[in-house]
A and B are shown apart, each in its own frame.
Chain A
Amino acid sequence: MSSQPILRVENLKAHFRGTYFGVSREVRAVDDISFDVERNEIFGLAGESSSGKTTLIKTIAGLIRPPLELVGGRAQFAFLPDAPTIHQAAPAAVAAIRWRHLSYIMQGSMNVLNPLRRIGATFRDFALPHLGGSAGAFEATVTAHLERLRLDPSVLSAYPHELSGGMRQRVTIALATICKPEFIIADEPTTALDVIVQKDVLGMIRSIQREMGSSVLFVTHDMGVHATLTDKLGVMYAGRLVEVGATRDVFAAPRHPYTRHLIHSLPRIGDVTQRSGLPGTPPNLANPPPGCRFHPRCPLAMDICRTVQPAMIDVGPGHRASCHAISEGGS
């Protein structure tokens, strides 16, 4: 493992700025986030719906369009050493790294496959220029790749609307992984799959990653998937990273109360106790609670939590968390 991370995120801030009924509003969806992704690892991002996971990785991938604005910090890739973020890199440099170095499976991207092109044509449009070779060899590569995702090669002659949701989702995973890029960003890529196929798809993502020594930034709210797939885990709450560490350590000894909740609230087959979920609602990011953003829902909240934002502190090797209860020794 090289000492330089392949992605370094430092104090990254990205906000949605807009005017609603003449009142300007700022949604602080990514608020001062720092973490590294090393070569040859799968970094998982967890957190409830609307905690800012998608916004964070859009910002990292350079997909910053109004009303989203980059407010500060950097998200620097080793293969783009001159740009603090992809957003600030020259378009030609960005085009040069697409597919081979970086590929991005957007949340819901299975719904933006070109409806007028057959799947086979979409593969030729995107992957052929990078893989090259004869038409026959290319088709054989694509077919073999689809089979790893449990897709019959006949999907190549189908239009997107002729495939089920889970089939389209696997097509987008196939497109993003076929060129075996150095860095793969995947936003909730297995939500539409049955558990058997999901297991195979996760296995495939992991074997490509291991074969190529690539890195994956894998976003999912599904803690079962994190436990199974990821090497490191970052937990987001209300636009902030609240805990990060080796997945094994975080599951074995979660230090932030929100992480503990995520791990322990998983519904299981055989369990019929009424689970109410976390009390309260996700905070409004246009007007987040002062101090620790989790305090209105936290079972351990103290006075200090209502006014002072807790800092990220080391709680173990490579394991950090931000909670006053830890520094008080109360955890």
Chain B
Amino acid sequence: MTALIEAKNISKTFSRGGVFARRRIEAVKGINFSLEEDKPEIFAVIGESGSGKSTLARMILGIHKPSGGQLIFQGQDVDKIPRAGRAAFMARVQPIFQNPFEAFNPLKKLDFYLTMTATRFGGATSRAEADAASDQALRQVGLSLDEIKGRFPHELSGGQLQRVAIARALVSKPRLILADEPVSMVDASLRMSIVNLFGDLRDRLGLSIIYITHDLATAYYISDRLIIMRHGEVVEQGPAREVLSNPQHPYSQQLRAAVLSPSATLETITPTH
């Protein structure tokens, strides 16, 4: 039983503000979790805005160096991967970011991103191979290379862009996908088709997915386990359905109670004064 990824008491401290008023922000404070190599799962991270979810994701991707603790990916300390091993690591751990609008440069055609991932991380050695890999990945998200080729990001809606972003992440055939709010920009129906796609990738390709979201309903629906974060700490964790059906921590209970539904009325939101 080996870990695909293991977080050992990791933390991250930033300092922010002017020269005279520097503040230390403890964005992540000692988090532990582990995903097993031979047990692909969807691991949801939910919690307060500003609670350190994206910071955690950036540490896993090796973008931020942890201030304390260790992240081990397939036996290797992410922080100590030599330059030569970076590309191989990045092929195995692929991100899907919070916002489709910031994921793509408006001046670059969308197929460029797929081609680039296919050649840099996916082992494609010719245009035809790169195109085939791109098309295959796009088809997994309900698009095709024909539809995307030559188009710029602004020609697609947010939902379409997010599907391209997921396809791009699939091109290098990763083991772990880090999806930071991948569905927040898209409608309920597309949201369901994207999380169903995640479930399918888990079951069919044995991919593990760390799914950061504010959408409790899809976290409940698709994820196997989850953690709930607040102020840089995990306040509750466990099997997703168990935790969300019967939250124990007061913050989790508040979160569960704040979900809006079509039966909610104007009176249920209290104006702040």
Q: Please give the residue numbers on chain A whose beta carbons come within 8 Å of chain B beta carbons, in ascending order.
A: 16, 18, 20-21, 47-50, 54, 107-108, 111, 118, 148, 154, 157-158, 162-167, 170, 188, 191-200, 202-204, 206-207, 210, 221-225, 227-229, 251, 261-263, 265-272, 274-278, 281
Contacts and interface: CB of A to CB of B under 8 A. Distances in A.
Contact of B216 (A162, A206, A269): A269
Nearest to A196: B258
A210 B271 contact: yes
A232 B14 CA distance: 44
B49 A262 contact: no
B272 A265 contact: no
Given A158-B17, A225-B260, A227-B262, A267 B221 contact: yes
A7 B184 CA distance: 29
B190 A48 contact: yes
Given A228-B268, A267-B188, A111 B99 contact: yes
A312 B185 CA distance: 29
B68 interface: no
Given A107-B158, A108-B102, A270-B245, A202 B48 contact: no
B261 A108 contact: no
B188 A203 contact: no
A148 B262 contact: no
Nearest to A27: B155
B48 A207 contact: no
Interface in B87-114: 98-99, 101-102
Counting chain A CB atoms within 10 Å of each CB, which of B17, B21, B216, B270 scores highest?
B17
A270 B99 CA distance: 28
Contacts of B49: 164-167, 170, 192-194, 197
Interface string B165-192: 0000000000000000100111111111
Contact of B185 (A191, A272, A276): A191
Contacts of A207: 271-273
B81 interface: no
Interface residues on B, range: 35 or more
A157 B196 contact: no
Given A48-B187, A54-B157, A203-B272, A195 B260 contact: yes
B260 A199 contact: yes
11 contacts: A47-B187, A50-B157, A157-B16, A188-B185, A196-B258, A202-B269, A221-B186, A227-B264, A229-B266, A262-B188, A277-B193
Contacts of B159: 48-50
Contacts of A191: 184-185
Contact of A199 (B21, B193, B258): B258
Contacts of A278: 189
Interface in B23-41: 23
A50 B189 CA distance: 12
Nearest to B160: A50
A10 B69 CA distance: 60
Given A107-B158, A108-B101, A195 B186 contact: no
Given A48-B190, A200-B272, A268-B217, A195 B258 contact: yes
A236 B97 CA distance: 27
Contacts of B18: 118, 157
Contacts of A251: 262
Name the 5 nearest CB pairs between A and B, nearest first: A49-B159, A166-B49, A50-B157, A207-B271, A224-B260
Contacts of A267: 188, 191-192, 217-218, 221
B216 A227 contact: no
B75 interface: no
B54 interface: yes
Listed residue (A192, A193, A228) with the most chain B CB atoms within 10 angstroms of its CB: A228
A165 B214 CA distance: 12
A48 B158 CA distance: 10
Nearest to A157: B17
A193 B181 CA distance: 10
B261 A193 contact: no
B50 interface: yes
Interface in B206-221: 214, 216-218, 220-221
B142 interface: yes
Contacts of A261: 189
Nearest to A163: B50
Contacts of A262: 188
Given A188-B158, A196-B255, A227-B263, 11 more contacts: A163-B50, A188-B185, A194-B46, A197-B48, A199-B258, A199-B269, A207-B271, A221-B186, A227-B261, A262-B188, A269-B256
